[in-house]
Structures are given as structure tokens and as C-alpha cells.
């Protein structure tokens, strides 16, 4: 299903290698269906049909109606569309998010705070999972927006979104006071069964490139009207106007169909790799597992593991491992170019020294057992050498 890569790639949570079938077909669609999907001639209608097929595939995967699926350029844009729409409201109110959100939720929340909203950041437990009661306690009669991610991108912690939604709805049963509940489902999309309906969320963000689709394709599920900031086009019902990126959208629909078909098999493979990685990494001198990895399976994604080797800085471990031919990261790809951002791990109450030494290992369907074995052998050698140098 996947092409071979010269480096052992263990950074799938940052982006997945393209599924070859999706890439080939997306290129072909770009060539064949070049007409503008808004054009009324036959070529335009063929392009439109292609987009609508992808919309149905994405809706099916999310347990949603196709009319509630809007295509965007990626999850950063989907998250921003939701948060920025609150700037248009005449009245301010309160916003509740977890303190472990991705920057594409956290920073828009900060911007709302600057604009006069009271923003509450709810702390996660030490394993990275947010307590539903604690989150719901942050919601009050003034709350207009609440956001909790489905799977954390740094630790793989699975958040109890459905339970949080249920508790919030119990608190604000009147439709007129209904809190808008948003979830960033990027690290879960395709990989686990999702039902927007069962979760009871009003909006959800997902991204194509994390599951092998081309970059530049994302999803916003939205089942409530929002006065978004965009103006100037009718595409995607004006929620995200602008000529559609047909090949990215086609790829998104195709990739999610493939994940649906292989989900069980690929999850089982990831669980096996995770078992192996946990066993080998726990035996390395100085290794300190971060997040929910050692705990109950339903609390963590099988695709992500975070481990720390204090006092070696996470960036240094990542560079050394890269020199040895392994791609891992320090956490969010958005912060890994510069110094590691410790916000998420510190929110979980993780000691600064441990948080600063953390690396994230993330696998995918093409990761082989031998890749993980080779990685662990090199990691053991390199962290021992680093410890010796840092002494």
C-alpha cells in the first residue's frame, strides 16, 4: 500500500507518507477533472460530482450527514473557522478548552481572550486524559464555546469527548443557551470509529495528510450555523469559500475509504508495534514513559508513544536519531522547528526536566517490526552516549 522510504520513518503523527493508490489517482483526477467545480458545463459538473463523492465518504466515516461536511485546507483552518466566527458575535462570553489542545485551537482561544472572552484552560491528569467532570465544571451559563480534542497529538491520550458533551448538555439543556462544542479529531480521523452524532459535538476538525491523503485537504464537520469571517464566495456554502482543491479533496475521500477498509488490521498492527516499543524502551536505562501508554488501552492511541530521557534535551535526541537514519519528533510538528514547547506536558503536571527531554514516536501501517527493533537498539546506544556526555 505504501512506497518504501530511505529513512525509518516514525513520525506519522506529524504527517503520513502518501498512500500510493491515493496519490496516483489524485494526480489523475487533477489532470482529468481540471474544470472549475462551480462551472455549470459538463466538465464542471464532473468535477463537482467527484467532490460530492468524497464528501459522502468523509461523512460516512464521521457518522455525519454529507450536508454537514465542509472541505477546508486542513485542520488548522477548520479549527480557526470555528473559533474566529465568535469574533462576529456582539456579546462576549466564556470559552472552555483543555490546556493540552493543539496550537491551532490554543492560539485562536488566546485571540478570543484578547478580544474580551473569559477563557478557561482545563488541566489534564498526569496521564494526559482530561477528567470529564473537571471539564464540565468549567462550563457555566456564560459559556458559548467549549473545545476538547479527541486524541492528543503529543501523548496519544484519548479524551472522553462523548462524556464531556453529555455533561455539558445536562448543564445547559435550553437550546437558546446551547454551548457550541468543538472537537479536534485530527489524530483519530480514519484511525478509530468516530460518530459525530453519538459524540454530540457541533463541530469537528480533521485533516487528510495524517492518513496518507495529499496535503491541503481538511474537513470541518459543522451542524450548526456559524457566522464565519470569510466573505467573497459561495463554495462550501460560504463556510470556506474559494475554488476547491479537487485533488486534495478526492484524496481525502479515497484515503478515508482505505482506512475504513483496513482499520481493524492497521490498528492491530499498531498495537503490536506499541507493545514491542513499550517493552524495549522501558528496558532502556533512564527511560521515562510520558502519558497514558502503559495504562488501559482505551485511554491511548496505539499509534503514538512519548518517552523522555532526562537530562538530554528532546531536540538533541531527535537530531542524533536523525543522523542515525530515524525520523521521530519532539511533539507537535508546529513547534518542533524551534525549541520544544512544553505547554502540553506541563499542563499534565509533568516535571519540566522530563517534559523537555521527551520525544514522540509515531507509527503507521507501513512501519515494520524490524524498524522498531532497529530504532530501539539505536535509541539505547545513543541515549547512553548522550548521558555519558552530559554527566
Based on the shown chain and the rule CB under 6 A, indicate whether residue 255 belongs to the binding site for ligand PLP. Answer: no
CB of 79 vs ligand PLP, minimal distance in Å: 6
The span from the CA of 217 to the CA of 206, in Å, is 9
Based on the shown chain and the rule CB under 6 A, indicate whether residue 364 belongs to the binding site for ligand PLP. Answer: no
The span from the CA of 233 to the CA of 133, in Å, is 42
> Which range touches ligand PLP (CB under 6 A), out of 22-30, 181-189, 193-201, 226-234?
181-189
The span from the CA of 385 to the CA of 159, in Å, is 37
The span from the CA of 383 to the CA of 131, in Å, is 34
Residue 307, C-alpha cell as written in the block: 518517552
The catalytically annotated residue of 50, 58, 196, 334 is: 334
Nearer to ligand PLP, 36 or 192 (CB): 192
From 61, 80, 85, 104, residue interacting with ligand PLP (rule: CB under 6 A): 104
Sites for ligand PLP among residues 195-214 (CB under 6 A): 207
Q: Kindly state the number of chain residues that form the binding site for ligand PLP, as judged by CB under 6 A.
A: 14
What is the pairing mode between strands 203-207 and 218-222? antiparallel
From 145, 149, 304, 342, residue interacting with ligand PLP (rule: CB under 6 A): 149
Nearer to ligand PLP, 337 or 389 (CB): 337
Nearer to ligand PLP, 43 or 333 (CB): 333
What is the pairing mode between strands 143-147 and 118-122? unpaired
Residue environment code for 373-391, b if the CB has 16+ CB neighbours within 10 A, otherwise e = eebbebbbebbeebeeeee
User: Going by C-beta distance under 8 Å and a sequence separation of 6 or more, which residues neighbour residue 57?
Assistant: 253, 254, 256, 257
Tell me, residue by residue from 67 to 86, as one string, x for binding to ligand PLP by CB under 6 A and - for no binding: -------xxx----------
The span from the CA of 57 to the CA of 52, in Å, is 9
Nearer to ligand PLP, 50 or 188 (CB): 188
From 17, 108, 218, 365, residue interacting with ligand PLP (rule: CB under 6 A): 218
Nearer to ligand PLP, 47 or 149 (CB): 149
Is 50 a known active-site residue?
Answer: no
From 187, 330, 357, 362, residue interacting with ligand PLP (rule: CB under 6 A): 187
From 137, 287, 333, 374, residue interacting with ligand PLP (rule: CB under 6 A): 333
CB of 218 vs ligand PLP, minimal distance in Å: 5
Residue whose beta carbon is closest to ligand PLP: 74
Based on the shown chain and the rule CB under 6 A, indicate whether residue 184 belongs to the binding site for ligand PLP. Answer: yes
CB of 386 vs ligand PLP, minimal distance in Å: 27
Nearer to ligand PLP, 48 or 300 (CB): 300
Binding site for ligand PLP (CB under 6 A): 74-76, 102, 104, 149, 153, 184, 186-187, 207, 218, 332-333
What amino acid positions are annotated as catalytic residues? 334
Amino acid at each position: 500500500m505504501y512506497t518504501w522510504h530511505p529513512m525509518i520513518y516514525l513520525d506519522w503523527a506529524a504527517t503520513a507518507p502518501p498512500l500510493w493508490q491515493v496519490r496516483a489517482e489524485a494526480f489523475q483526477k487533477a489532470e482529468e477533472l481540471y474544470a472549475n467545480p462551480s462551472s455549470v458545463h459538463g466538465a464542471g459538473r464532473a468535477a463537482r460530482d467527484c467532490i460530492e463523492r468524497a464528501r459522502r465518504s468523509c461523512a460516512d466515516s464521521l457518522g455525519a450527514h454529507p450536508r454537514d461536511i465542509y472541505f477546508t485546507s486542513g485542520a488548522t483552518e477548520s479549527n480557526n473557522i470555528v473559533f474566529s466566527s465568535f469574533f462576529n458575535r456582539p456579546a462576549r462570553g466564556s470559552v472552555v478548552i483543555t490546556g493540552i489542545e493543539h496550537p491551532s485551537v490554543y492560539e485562536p482561544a488566546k485571540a478570543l481572550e484578547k478580544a474580551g472572552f473569559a477563557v478557561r484552560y482545563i488541566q489534564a491528569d498526569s496521564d494526559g486524559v482530561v477528567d470529564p467532570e473537571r471539564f464540565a465544571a468549567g462550563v457555566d451559563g456564560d459559556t458559548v464555546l467549549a473545545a476538547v480534542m479527541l486524541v492528543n497529538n503529543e501523548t496519544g491520550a484519548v479524551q472522553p469527548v462523548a462524556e464531556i458533551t453529555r455533561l455539558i448538555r445536562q448543564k445547559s439543556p435550553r437550546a437558546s443557551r446551547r454551548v457550541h462544542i468543538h472537537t479536534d479529531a485530527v489524530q483519530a480521523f480514519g484511525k478509530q470509529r468516530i460518530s459525530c452524532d453519538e459524540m454530540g459535538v457541533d463541530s469537528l476538525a480533521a485533516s487528510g495528510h495524517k492518513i496518507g491523503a495529499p496535503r491541503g485537504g481538511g474537513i470541518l464537520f459543522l451542524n450548526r450555523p456559524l457566522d464565519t469571517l470569510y466573505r467573497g464566495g459561495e463554495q462550501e456554502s460560504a463556510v470556506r469559500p474559494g475554488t476547491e482543491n479537487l485533488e486534495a479533496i478526492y484524496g481525502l475521500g479515497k484515503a478515508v475509504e482505505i482506512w475504513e477498509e483496513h482499520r481493524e488490521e492497521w490498528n492491530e498492527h499498531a498495537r503490536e508495534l506499541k507493545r514491542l516499543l513499550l517493552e524495549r524502551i522501558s528496558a532502556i536505562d533512564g527511560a521515562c514513559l510520558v502519558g497514558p501508554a502503559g495504562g488501559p488501552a482505551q485511554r491511548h492511541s496505539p499509534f503514538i508513544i512519548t518517552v523522555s530521557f532526562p537530562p538530554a534535551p528532546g531536540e538533541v535526541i531527535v537530531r542524533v536519531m536523525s543522523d542515525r537514519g530515524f525520523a521521530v519528533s519532539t511533539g507537535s510538528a508546529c513547534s518542533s522547528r524551534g525549541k520544544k514547547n512544553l505547554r502540553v506536558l506541563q499542563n499534565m503536571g509533568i516535571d519540566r526536566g522530563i517534559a523537555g527531554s521527551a520525544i514522540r514516536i509515531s507509527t503507521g501501517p507501513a512501519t515494520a517490526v524490524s524498524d522498531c527493533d532497529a530504532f530501539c537498539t539505536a535509541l539505547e546506544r545513543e541515549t547512553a552516549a548522550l548521558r555519558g556526555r552530559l554527566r
